[in-house]
Amino acid sequence: MNKILIALLSGLIFGLGLSWSQMVNPDKVISFLDIAGNWDPSLAFVMAGALAIATPAFIWIKKRQKPVLESAFHISHKTHIDKPLILGAIIFGIGWGMTGYCPGPAVAGIGMGNLEALVMVVSIYAGFFAERFFAGK
């Protein structure tokens, strides 16, 4: 039960952060990616703000044997740079640039009553299922 409440709280704070930083606004994201236009570096500042908190806190958290409410950390230990990683990231970036939405703002945008965000979320799920189908999972 506590784990569910923590997840709810974490999601709520994430949603407030995406809203305050205006990352729920696809125009704001596209004006970051539009380096040849009227460039808006705000997105880099969002990442800087998040990393300023998460980087030192993660180092401290990972010194613990386990998280507070679970018996182990659920973290990827992969280090190999492979083709799916690079190809997938490139495909993701193309979709991100076409729309101005990455997954977080698409979900949060539903809470703002934005129709585009709903279309985006449905399409993302279509992509998930397509990948699973082609990979034979």
Partner 1 sequence: MENFTPFSALAGGVLIGLSAVILLFFNGRIAGISGIMNGIFKSPRNEMLWRAAFLMGLIAGALLFKLIAPDFITFRSGYPLWLIAVGGFLVGIGTRLSSGCTSGHGICGIASFSKRSIYATLCFMASGFATVYLLKHVFHIV
Residues 60-79 that bind partner 1 (CB under 8 A): 61-62, 66-70, 72-76, 78-79
- Give the other-Cβ count within 10 Å of 17's Cβ: 16
Residue with tokens 């809203």: 19
Between 90 and 136, name the residue whose CB sits nearer to partner 1: 90
Q: How many alpha carbons fall within 13 Å on the CB side of residue 98? A: 8
Enumerate residues 1-40 that contact partner 1 by CB under 8 A.
2-28, 30-31, 33-40
Degrees to nearest 5, angle at CA 28 with 25 and 29: 95
Write down the least CB distance from residue 133 to partner 1, Å: 10
The burial of 90, by beta-carbon neighbours within 10 Å (0-12 exposed, 13-18 middle, 19 or more buried), is given as exposed
Nearest-10 crossing angle of helices 83-99, 26-33: 120
Write down the least CB distance from residue 38 to partner 1, Å: 7
The answer to the question of residue 126 lying near partner 1 (CB under 8 A) is: yes
Write down the least CB distance from residue 124 to partner 1, Å: 4
Write down the least CB distance from residue 40 to partner 1, Å: 5
Enumerate residues 96-115 that contact partner 1 by CB under 8 A.
96-99, 101-104, 106-114
